[in-house]
Structure 1
Amino acid sequence: MNRIEQAFANGKAFIPFITAGDPSMEITEQLVLRMAEAGADLIELGIPFSDPVAEGQVIQDASARALSGGISVDEIFGMVKRIRKVCDVAMAFMTYANVIFSYGADRFMKNCSEAGVDAIIIPDLPFEEKDEFMPYCLKYGVHLISMIAPTSENRIHMIAREARGFVYCVSSLGVTGVRQDISDDAREMIRLVKEVNEIPCAVGFGISTPEQASRMAEFSDGIIVGSAIVKIVEQYGSECVPHVARYVRMMKDAVRVGG
């Protein structure tokens, strides 16, 4: 069983997102270790990018802070290698196609494999263009995570048939960010995925409260939370680690209740 499978093997998964390098690489490393201890099943690490089109203001600002600190992709790979010496939590990179193109797709996926990155999420990569990166993902054993949204409609079966690792179900239209109300559109999306593939389905975009997490966990295999955690990082800066760990523990408990 690989680490992605393991993340979904013990009930409903809780998947936190943070931006690498915000507020510093040292704190990011601590956050990953403490979130894993607090119950995170899979950790999504955002590679900062100057034009993160899928992100709301909170994560845009986090990317800007990380980039202003001079963060590099090689530094992030180095950090993951250090984490892998002491922690076996599943990890996925979230970044944009241009970052991988600029780095070199073969080199990027090779480094993912060598560092211990299990999956890659590329929100600006249309399903029809996945072959730009899929050969390199297959070559090095890195899952390219498929995303579906309420607008995917008649394409969901097609995307689901070829999905690997897990399916990222975007709960609502628009960019990432905390929302007061989250629709149940994801319930129908997941039903359509499961018609053709029994792959795990995790729901993200907008979830921030235990109540929301518990409700979404009733019909999904995992919950992804980003902006709410990045807000805590922004609020507490270098003192954020215990606050994030407390939040992760609370949300993991809520996901267990929903499951």
Structure 2
Amino acid sequence: MNRIDARFKELREKNETAFIPFITAGDPNLSVTRSLILEFDRRGSDMIELGVPFSDPIADGPVIQSSYYRALSSGIRLSNILELVKDIREKSEIPIVSMISYSILYKNGCENFVKNAVKAGFDGATIPDLPIEEAENIIEAGKREEFKIICFIAPTTTSDRMELIVKRSRGFLYYISVVGITGVRSKLPDDITENIRNIKKTTNLPVALGFGISTPEQARMAGEVADGVIVGSAIVKEIEKYSSQDDNILIDKVGKFVSELVSGAKSTV
């Protein structure tokens, strides 16, 4: 069984919400990325969304864009990230999902990327710039390798399009809490509960909620309605905040912040 499926099965049996932190591979460097993933695992995170940096991140706000540019400027490439995950697999079985641009997949070839990602130890991918109507090739390649292609649903998604997304998505569904780019927000929209309930009427796939969650209290509210809570920009912001300090200080400070978010997401039961 794919690690994503196994983790959600385990959490459902415990009536527990998944906490999924996002970080950019190579920000501030690959050694810190490795240590952060292991630290997040130790502090109770359930899976990791690992951003593969690219030069035109259209779905991301300034915080994650800056982290991509920092990683790219230090020479990070996909091959380095695959080696990183392979190394992490010697220490941890936490599910790892790549967030990757279709431009990188196109350059490497969908089939080739999936095989290399699975070999390294990735469990799935989110592809924010690939419309569901054009995702059949990568989804089929993923099915052959038990590699989950996780699709996005937004508040503005029509019922017909949602039906197609639900049919094609694997692993879990990524519900975008707000229309627009990623980033920290002061409050979550009022329609989240109703929208996620409507999605759950159409599928048994877990639904994870992301975009705009930045505090333990917001994580708690998200965890009350969703099967998973994804936090990205707020964590990346903490990494940037401590990036000039000793690596061990950064890892400890960011780890403590993630621990608070984990507690928030899991305090709903």
The two structures have a TM-score, normalised by structure 1, of 0.97
What CA distance in whole angstroms lies between the structure 1 residues aligned with 2:52 and 2:188? 26
Counterparts of 1:25-104 in structure 2, within 5 Å, are 25-104=30-109
Counterpart in the other structure of 2:147? 142
Aligned to 2:236: 230
1:85 counterpart SS class: coil
Please tell me whether the aligned partners of residues 27 and 33 of structure 2 are also in contact (alpha carbons under 8 angstroms): yes
Equivalent pair of 1:170/1:186 in contact (CA under 8 Å): no
Q: 1:246 aligns with which of 231, 256, 267?
A: 256
Q: Deviations over 1:133-155 (max 9, x none)?
A: 11211222210001100110322
d(CA) in 1 for partners of 2:167 and 2:105? 25
Residue-pair matches, total: 259
SS in structure 2 at match of 1:202? strand
1:7 deviates by: 2.7
Query: Quick one: distance in 1 between partners of 2:152 and 2:73?
Result: 29
Instruction: Tell me the distance in 1 between the aligned counterparts of 2:213 and 2:187.
Output: 9
Task: Map 1:91-170; keep pairs closer than 5 Å.
Answer: 91-154=96-159, 155-170=161-176
Q: Is the 8 A contact 2:142 2:149 kept in 1?
A: yes
Q: Which residue of 256, 264, 267 maps to 1:257?
A: 267
Gaps in structure 2 of 5+ consecutive residues: none
Following TM superposition, by how much is the alpha carbon of 1:2 offset from its aligned partner in structure 2, in angstroms? Answer: 2.8
Q: What amino acid is the match of 1:131?
A: E
Give the whole-Å Cα distance in 2 for the aligned partners of 1:175 and 1:17: 15
* 1:160 aligned partner, one-letter code: V
Q: What is the alpha-carbon distance in structure 2 between the residues aligned to residue 58 and residue 113 of structure 1?
A: 29
Q: CA deviation at 1:50?
A: 0.1
Shift in Å at residue 241 of structure 1? 0.8
The residue type paired with residue 110 of structure 2 is A
Q: Distance in 1 between matches of 2:107 and 2:251?
A: 32
Q: Which runs of 5+ in 1 are unaligned?
A: none
C-alpha distance in 2, partners of 1:58/1:7?
Answer: 29
Aligned residue number for residue 23 of structure 1: 28
8 Å CA contact 1:81, 1:115 repeated in 2: yes
Say whether the 8 Å CA contact 2:132–2:151 is kept in structure 1. Answer: yes
Work out whether residues 169 and 189 of structure 1, in 8 Å CA contact, stay in contact via their aligned partners in 2.
no
Q: Provide the C-alpha distance between the structure 2 equivalents of 1:89 and 1:178, rounded to a whole number of angstroms.
A: 25
CA contact (8 A) 2:2 2:147 kept: no
SS across alignment from 2:174 = strand
Q: Is the 8 A contact 1:169 1:186 kept in 2?
A: no
Separation in structure 2 between the aligned mates of residue 104 and residue 66 of structure 1, nearest angstrom: 23
Q: What is the DSSP-based 3-state SS (H/G/I as helix, E as strand, rest coil) of the residue aligned with 1:33?
A: helix
SS of alignment partner, residue 196 of structure 1? coil
Deviating more after overlay: 52-61 vs 136-145: 136-145
Shift of residue 191 of structure 1? 1.7
TM-score under structure 2 length normalisation: 0.93
Deviations 1:135-194 (A, max 9, x none): 211222210001100110322233223321000000001100000011033323322222
User: Structure 2 CA distance, aligned partners of 1:163 and 1:64?
Assistant: 29
- Equivalent residues in 2 for 1:172-251 (5 A)? 172-237=178-243, 238=247, 239-251=249-261
